[in-house]
């Protein structure tokens, strides 16, 4: 059975693809995301970045970013199964 694409999600992704500046992304995400959702994304970004750097243990990451070990474990598990193309993008962004 053929899966129907999610027009809402695809539409949002296409909208994001048109944004060119950090300031415009800030405006867009200010409209679509609550403060709590932005905070969750911020935390996930910091966790993923720290995990990719590999300089801190999970406990040190939790202490540094005042987050739970469970959140770090979820980030770590997600990194284990991501598409290699995305991993390259993330690693390139860190340089």
pTM of this structure: 0.82
The class that CATH gives domain 22-94 is mainly alpha
pLDDT of residue 17: 96
Q: Got the DSSP string for 25-44?
A: HHHHHHHHS-HHHHHHHHHH
Domain ranges across the chain:
22-94
Cβ(72)–Cβ(44) below 8 Å: no
For 6, 39, 70, 89, the CA distances from 61, given in Å and listed in that order, are 35, 16, 12, 22
pLDDT-above-70 percentage for the chain: 94
**Tell me: the pLDDT tens digits for 52-86?**
999 999 999 999 999 999 999 999 999 999 999 99
């Amino acid at each position: 059975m053929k899966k129907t694409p999610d027009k809402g999600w695809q539409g949002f992704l296409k909208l994001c693809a048109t944004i060119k500046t950090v300031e415009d992304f800030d405006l867009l995400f200010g409209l679509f995301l609550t403060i709590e959702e932005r905070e969750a994304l911020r935390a996930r970004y910091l966790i993923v970045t720290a995990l990719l750097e590999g300089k801190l243990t999970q406990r040190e990451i939790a202490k540094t970013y005042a987050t739970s070990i469970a959140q770090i474990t979820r980030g770590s598990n997600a990194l284990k199964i991501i598409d290699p193309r995305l991993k390259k993008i993330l690693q390139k962004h860190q340089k």
